[in-house]
Structure 1
Amino acid sequence: MSLIHPLPHLAQARIATYTLFFICGVLLAAWVSRIPAIKAHLGLETGELGLVLLGGPLGLVSAMPLTGAALARLGSRRVVTAASLACALALPLLAWAPNGWALALALFLFGFFNAAMDISMNAQAVEVERQQGKPIMSSFHALFSLGGLIGAALGGGAAAVGLGPAGFFSLVALGSILWLAWATRVLLPTPPSPPGPLFVWPRGVLLGLGLIVFCTGLGEGAVGDWSAVFMRQELGSSEAVAALAFSAFSVAMVVGRLSGDWLNERFGAVWLGRVGGVLAAAGFGVTLLSSHPQGAMLGFVLVGLGYCTLFPLAFSAAGNTPGISPGLALASVATLGYLGFLVGPPLIGLVAHVSSLRVSFALVALLALLISWMAGLLRPRA
């Protein structure tokens, strides 16, 4: 049973959880924005960098079962406190690595703690949403997306003024720790779950929710890794215009998530999921049928508006699945979501190699329609 707290404490916990999501987005984007500088500093070839970057996904996958077990035993407040502080402290290690092997190890640690922070802050968000008594999960994920935009902008600004990755990462880590020192003190305590398995592979409803987040993660990864390539290769746009495709998608994600809770409360999670899947598929369709960059950009905006609420809806439904602790349920479903992020871009590249990038995007659009068909699983459960 949830622990009930007076409204002022609940309001503080909600703001603190917003802070966690925002910082998680900032930390991740700060690293991504300085990858070219670190590549140049270490003198890594493109192929070498690709191997080094595998450290992050390996850490991420390793964190899943351990985080779910820790959440069941300790509750989300303790786990997210430790994971978020460790994630911030791990960021400067990425710039201090003297060679590729050390960077791979640092990425393993950063990926591990970032994933642990992600799952545990979603578990805390489920508890806050449950006590709030209305849908608010989408707004939490909006802060993550906003943090990503801010982190990327800060990284670009740091590069423009000549601030190296080591100094930039240290400043971001210090600022994050100061915010976390307050936020982690006012989170809601959650009771531990009875002894049980350390990890639950998704079955039944959780498997369906996992497939929804897998298709969503694959689609988001497709836009992140291939939208600029599509704009350049298929439509002949300039490099600057091509880069705007992902920016347009990201802004649409933020705007959509900020309105997602209101739409959820007004129309329900199932309706929102069905519309989201259809809208994402339609966005890919507009992009594929466009002969000009402006039309393709509009398509990527529609894709962002379609995908924006699917992760929050699926995580909220998983965290409220009867008969299993929220932490284990979230870790189980998120594993498939992360798998979509990881395998999606390479699969799209493989399909594009044997056919075309247009065919790859068409297949992703079909998966978006599959999300719409499965949206009934997003219905809230007591």
Structure 2
Amino acid sequence: MLFRPGRTPDAHRPRTTATSVADRPPARPAGPGAPREVISARNHLLGLYLLLGLTISSWLARLPTVRDSLDLTTGDLGTVMLLGAVGSLATILVAGAVVTRVGPRRTMLASALLFSVGYVLLGLGPALGRVGVLAVGVVVFSVAIALGNVPLNVESVVIERRMGRTVVPQFHAGFSVGAVLGSALGAAAAWAAVPVVVQFGVVAIVALLWRLHSVPRSVLAPLPLVGVAAGPAPAASGASVRRGAGLRTSLRAWRERRTLLLGVVVMSAALSEGSANNWLAIAVVDGYGQTEAVAAVVFGTFVASMTVARISGTWLIDRYGRFLVVALSGATSLAGLVLFALAPSLPWSVLGVVGWGLGAGLVIPIAMSAVSGDPLSAAGRVAVVSAFASAASIAAPPLIGMAAEVMGARHALLLITGVMLAGVLLSGTVRDESVAPARATSAVHVPAAAAPPAPAPGEPARPRPVSVARPDRDLADDDVIADLGGLVEPVGAGSCR
């Protein structure tokens, strides 16, 4: 943290316990409100989240048409989708290093280009009758999403810290709203018999233009570090860092116990949400003997519940803190899933779906915010917890599918309750790292022997050097500090934490 020369860190603030400091939301910045550029960045990033949800759902809504056009079985289509999941996982393993090395802006622009190329291939495959083209499109599409998700999550936390209040769940709510709009777009295109190559081609062009406009405006410039010599902007503005530094910074996150435990929390939430996406409609049809239309309404209830939780969750987090919200969310989601699977009738199962969705809405946004608190390691840590989520998306569908052949989809969903329970028990990991015992710190500063001499008559006084405290583990590495958007508070803004 940064302090004015001679200022005592604990001055002018009330004493608090370590737990309250760790679990409370970021302090509100001084002044009437967030700067205009921060508000603009939030709006553009919110639009990018909405666009992501819209494009993914628009593609998923046309899967029946894609399957029939290529005369694929459900198993064949599942194999193609599995290739995309493997590509996504492989990309996430290196995405943190990429963001650290080239910066979030360049990473998001590269992802935008890959996304549109993959989206066009998704439409060309059925049009040409080539399964191979579709498979390449799925892989490129999945790689683009995985590459872009890391800087998206990092920048959402950057904006939250700069605004001084909880806003990360709002971005995920934007994704949910986009998913609803994308499903409607896909349904309308299917009803009008629009060829998938036309739909996906138009969406790819619009999405690319949207991202080219919004990405540069959604990445905030880094805040200046007081007492650090001015120099070229670091990775956030596109400058590359020394070769190998980004990879070491990213790989270090895999050795951090807290990050790995947060990965389990994210995996539990991803299993909960992903299982609903893949199996909820089928479970309603097979388990309760309902039509596909009724199943669609039940699934819509789940998505709507998640959206409500994400929109209203910002107040809950600011009021009660991360830990309590995550613990209650996980418990509510677990109870809702159990009620859905064991309910004697459809109305009771719908009640369970509401609880399932409300509980699933906030865990991932809060965990992403918790893991991104340190700007030096944010990209690598986000990549680690995202890898846990991707592993869940690869393993869960086939395992639940095999179990569903024996016990039915509704009861097969109970298999994920063990991981969900583990997520609830690990809820305490979302607290900030400041709850841990104090670590020894060093300071990057101008040596005392190099203190500036007294100014000559008529010459303005030279400022005294200001120390920047950093953990010893970071000083021990010869890495270049890659700025991930400037999470450092300006001196005098809020309390010194």
TM-score range, shorter chain: over 0.9
Q: 2:372 touches 2:378 (CA, 8 Å); kept in 1?
A: yes
Equivalent residue in structure 2 for 1:150, among 181, 187, 200? 181
Aligned to 1:55: 83
CA drift at 1:13: 0.6
What one-letter code is carried by the residue in structure 2 that aligns with 1:125?
S
Aligned to 1:346: 398
Q: 1:63 touches 1:112 (CA, 8 Å); kept in 2?
A: yes
CA distance in 1, matches of 2:402, 2:71: 28
2:277 aligned with 1:245: no
Higher mean C-alpha deviation, range 111-120 or range 48-57:
48-57
Aligned to 1:283: 336
CA drift at 1:202: 5.7
Aligned to 1:259: 312
CA distance in 2, matches of 1:257, 1:152: 19
What one-letter code is carried by the residue in structure 2 that aligns with 1:221?
G
Equivalent residue in structure 1 for 2:275, among 222, 229, 253? 222
CA distance in 2, matches of 1:124, 1:85: 19
Aligned to 1:44: 72
Higher mean C-alpha deviation, range 62-71 or range 256-265:
62-71
Q: 1:20 touches 1:180 (CA, 8 Å); kept in 2?
A: yes
CA drift at 1:286: 2.1
CA distance in 2, matches of 1:166, 1:78: 28
1:102-134 deviation line (CA, Å, top 9, x unaligned) = 211111111000111112211111211121122
Aligned to 1:328: 380
CA drift at 1:203: 3.4
Q: 2:287 touches 2:408 (CA, 8 Å); kept in 1?
A: no
Residues 98-247 of structure 1 aligned to structure 2 (within 5 Å): 98=128, 99-186=130-217, 187-189=219-221, 191-192=234-235, 195-196=245-246, 197=248, 198-199=250-251, 200-201=253-254, 203-247=256-300
State the secondary structure of the residue aligned to 1:201: helix
CA drift at 1:355: 4.3
Cα 1:202/1:288, change in 2 over 3 Å: farther
CA drift at 1:146: 1.1
Aligned to 1:310: 363
TM-score for the superposition, normalised by structure 1: 0.93
Aligned to 2:348: 295
What one-letter code is carried by the residue in structure 1 that aligns with 2:220?
L
Equivalent residue in structure 2 for 1:72, among 100, 103, 107? 100
Higher mean C-alpha deviation, range 45-54 or range 220-229:
45-54
What one-letter code is carried by the residue in structure 2 that aligns with 1:10?
V
CA distance in 1, matches of 2:102, 2:159: 17
1:227-256 deviation line (CA, Å, top 9, x unaligned) = 122212222222221222221111111111
CA distance in 2, matches of 1:355, 1:161: 38
CA distance in 1, matches of 2:414, 2:213: 46
CA drift at 1:361: 2.8
CA distance in 1, matches of 2:433, 2:201: 43
1:49-76 deviation line (CA, Å, top 9, x unaligned) = 2222223112211211331111111221
CA distance in 1, matches of 2:149, 2:59: 16
What one-letter code is carried by the residue in structure 1 that aligns with 2:389?
G
Higher mean C-alpha deviation, range 327-336 or range 161-170:
161-170
Q: 1:77 touches 1:189 (CA, 8 Å); kept in 2?
A: no
Query: Which is higher, the Rg of structure 1 or of structure 2?
Result: 2
1:63-108 deviation line (CA, Å, top 9, x unaligned) = 1133111111122122112212431342121111231112111111
Q: Which runs of 5+ in 2 are unaligned?
A: 3-28, 223-233, 236-240, 435-497
CA drift at 1:354: 4.5
CA distance in 1, matches of 2:427, 2:364: 12
CA drift at 1:369: 2.7
Aligned to 1:364: 416
Q: 1:216 touches 1:340 (CA, 8 Å); kept in 2?
A: no
2:64 aligned with 1:11: no
CA distance in 2, matches of 1:203, 1:233: 43
TM-score for the superposition, normalised by structure 2: 0.72
Identity of aligned residues (%): 30
Aligned to 1:82: 110
What one-letter code is carried by the residue in structure 2 that aligns with 1:138?
P
CA drift at 1:346: 1.8
CA drift at 1:260: 1.4
CA distance in 2, matches of 1:271, 1:202: 27
Equivalent residue in structure 2 for 1:376, among 424, 428, 443? 428
Q: 1:24 touches 1:118 (CA, 8 Å); kept in 2?
A: no
Residues 265-276 of structure 1 aligned to structure 2 (within 5 Å): 265-276=318-329
1:36-60 deviation line (CA, Å, top 9, x unaligned) = 1122222223332222222311221
CA drift at 1:356: 4.8
